[in-house]
Structure 1
Amino acid sequence: MSNWSLLLSFSLVILAMLVSKKEKLLLEKDLLVGSIRAVVQLVAVGYILKFIFARNNFWFTTALLLVMVLNAAYIAGKRGEGIKNSHLISFGAIVMGLIITLGALIAFRAISYKPSQAIPVSGMIVGNAMVAVGLVFRSLKQTFRDRREEVEVKLSLGAPPREAAFSLIRESIKTAMLPTVDQMKTLGIVQLPGMMTGLILAGANPLMAIKYQIMVAFMLAGAVTVAAYVASYFAYRGFFNEDFQIVS
């Protein structure tokens, strides 16, 4: 792809801005700023990755993964506003999802801990885990608000907080997992996912691209499940005080 072709593709953003202006959506500025930020951020990341790939250093790779996790935890933590220690819970859940999933792939020799492999794969894991944690927080806040009386009745009958909130915890985990499950069902039929498309565009054998995409699908299912599970079972505690009462 030439720089000129890339520049011409910006006309699609202009089209979106024109629609926004015509329909008075007031998104023109956001679209422009978002496009500029995307370009600047991606160019910066490109140079950083070029530097790290050239050195193939364990510590550089690990440091970049830590930066990714910290940013994801901060963003997901904001979804848990009002939940005690939401940022810390986000960090722990995302780290667990990353360590277990990435560790399994390395142990199974699907990938190696080289920056050219570990960083892109970890980016997908962290990004999806971040979304899952955000969905957990949103689901817990909604269900505790809507089903407060149900939980209080169980508490009054002597149930401990975990038992009283069990159905809400289960629902939050399920809510976080459903988008990934639905995505797996539509792979190859409704959509050609990013990794597979990228490899094919780069000239890779389609069958090899499919193998990698299958690995990614399994990987994300595991990462999302771990992150959602950890986040749910730590976050629900923030809805109760020391006297086993639901906090306002």
Structure 2
Amino acid sequence: MSLTALGFTLVFVAVSLGISMWQKLGLERELLIGTVRSAIQLLAVGYVLQFVFQSNHWLVIGLILLVMTAVAAWNANTRAGGLRGMRWRIGLVILITEFATLGLLLLLDIIPFTTQYIIPISGMTIGNAMVAASLFLNQMKREIASGKEEIETLLSLGASSRQAIQDALKRAAKSSMIPTIDGMKTVGIVQLPGMMTGMIIAGASPLEAVRYQILITFAFASSAALTSIMLALLTYRLWFTRQDALA
């Protein structure tokens, strides 16, 4: 794609700005900030990845994965409602999910140990885990708010904090996995995912692109499940005080 063609893509931003101004949505500033930030961030990532792909050193790969995980944990933590100790737990869960997924891919020789494969697939895995964590925490806040009386009643009847909040944890975990499951049901029919589309545009065989997309789809399902369950196990105590009352 030429720079001229890339510049023409600003037409889409102009359309969004026009709609916002027409309907008085007040999104003009956010759209402009988002446009500038996304362009700068993607260009910067492009130069960084070009360097990383050339070096192909495991220390560089590890550093990139740690940065991705830290940013993902920071972003997901904004959904936690200010609960102390949540950020490092989210980071730990995402890190475990990433290394479990990546470890299986490398151990089973599904992908080679090269940055060309590890970084993009890890980015998608970490991003999916971040979304699952955000959805889980967002739903947990709703569950705690709407089920406060039920939880306090169970506590007064002698239930432990884990027993009192168990149903809320299950509903939040289920809710966080719904987008991934729905995506699995409609992939290839309703939507053609970005990885598959990108490979086809780059000239890869459609069948080769489909095989990699199946890999990513199944990995997403696993990472969402691992993230939700581990977050539930590691964070449920944070919703209570030391005296087992709701925080």
TM-score range, shorter chain: over 0.9
Amino acid at match of 1:15: V
The alignment status of 1:230 with 2:241, answered yes or no, reads no
> 1:37–1:82: structure 2 CA closer, same or farther, 3 Å change rule?
closer
Q: Name stretches of at least 5 consecutive residues in structure 1 with no aligned partner.
A: none
C-alpha deviation, 1:84, in angstroms: 2.9
Runs of at least 4 residues off by over 3 Å:
none
User: What is the distance in 1 between the residues matched to 2:82 and 2:50?
Assistant: 40
Matches within 5 A, 1:58-207: 58-207=58-207
C-alpha deviation, 1:44, in angstroms: 0.7
Q: Name stretches of at least 5 consecutive residues in structure 2 with no aligned partner.
A: none
C-alpha deviation, 1:149, in angstroms: 1.4
* SS of aligned partner of 1:165: helix
User: What is the distance in 2 between the residues matched to 1:239 and 1:62?
Assistant: 33
User: What is the distance in 1 between the residues matched to 2:7 and 2:130?
Assistant: 31
Amino acid at match of 2:237: R
User: What is the distance in 1 between the residues matched to 2:243 and 2:32?
Assistant: 51
TM-score (norm 2): 0.97
The alignment status of 1:27 with 2:27, answered yes or no, reads yes
User: What is the distance in 1 between the residues matched to 2:73 and 2:32?
Assistant: 27
Count of equivalent residues = 247
C-alpha deviation, 1:17, in angstroms: 0.7
**Could you tell which deviates more after superposition, 180-189 or 29-38?**
29-38
Once the two structures are superposed, residues 195-229 of structure 1 have per-residue CA deviations (whole angstroms, 9 ceiling, x without a partner) of 10001001111011100000000001111111111
Kept in 2, the 8 Å contact 1:83–1:235? The answer is no
Kept in 2, the 8 Å contact 1:76–1:133? The answer is yes
Kept in 2, the 8 Å contact 1:73–1:88? The answer is yes
The alignment status of 1:9 with 2:9, answered yes or no, reads yes
C-alpha deviation, 1:81, in angstroms: 2.0
The alignment status of 1:44 with 2:44, answered yes or no, reads yes
Kept in 2, the 8 Å contact 1:137–1:235? The answer is no
Root-mean-square deviation over aligned CA pairs: 1.0
* SS of aligned partner of 1:79: coil
C-alpha deviation, 1:83, in angstroms: 2.2
User: What is the distance in 1 between the residues matched to 2:45 and 2:35?
Assistant: 15
Kept in 2, the 8 Å contact 1:89–1:235? The answer is yes
Partner of 1:246: 246
C-alpha deviation, 1:240, in angstroms: 1.3
User: What is the distance in 1 between the residues matched to 2:134 and 2:104?
Assistant: 24
C-alpha deviation, 1:112, in angstroms: 2.3
* SS of aligned partner of 2:78: helix
C-alpha deviation, 1:9, in angstroms: 1.4
* SS of aligned partner of 1:242: coil
C-alpha deviation, 1:113, in angstroms: 2.6
User: What is the distance in 2 between the residues matched to 1:40 and 1:160?
Assistant: 50
User: What is the distance in 2 between the residues matched to 1:145 and 1:32?
Assistant: 35
- The percent identity for this pair of structures is 38
User: What is the distance in 2 between the residues matched to 1:175 and 1:37?
Assistant: 30
C-alpha deviation, 1:46, in angstroms: 0.5
